[in-house]
Amino acid sequence: MKNVTITMDERLLERVRVKAAREGKSVSRVMAEAAETFVGRTLTHKEALERILSRPLLNLTVDGKAPSRDEIYE
pTM assigned to the model: 0.55
Residue 74 in any domain: the answer is no
Decide if 17 contacts 27 (C-beta within 8 A).
yes
- Tell me what pLDDT residue 31 has: 96
Structural domain count of the chain: 1
- Angle formed by the axes of helices 10-23 and 27-39, nearest 10°: 100
pLDDT truncated to tens, each residue of the chain (74 aa)?
899 999 999 999 999 999 999 999 999 999 999 999 999 888 899 999 999 999 998 887 878 888 888 888 88
Residue 64 in any domain: the answer is no
Residue 72 in any domain: the answer is no
- Tell me what pLDDT residue 18 has: 97
C-alpha 19/C-alpha 25 separation (Å) is 8
- Tell me what pLDDT residue 27 has: 96
Q: What is the DSSP string of 29-68?
A: HHHHHHHHHHH-PPPPHHHHHHHHHTSPPP---BTTBPPP
Which domain does 43 fall in, by range? 1-56
- Tell me what pLDDT residue 40 has: 87
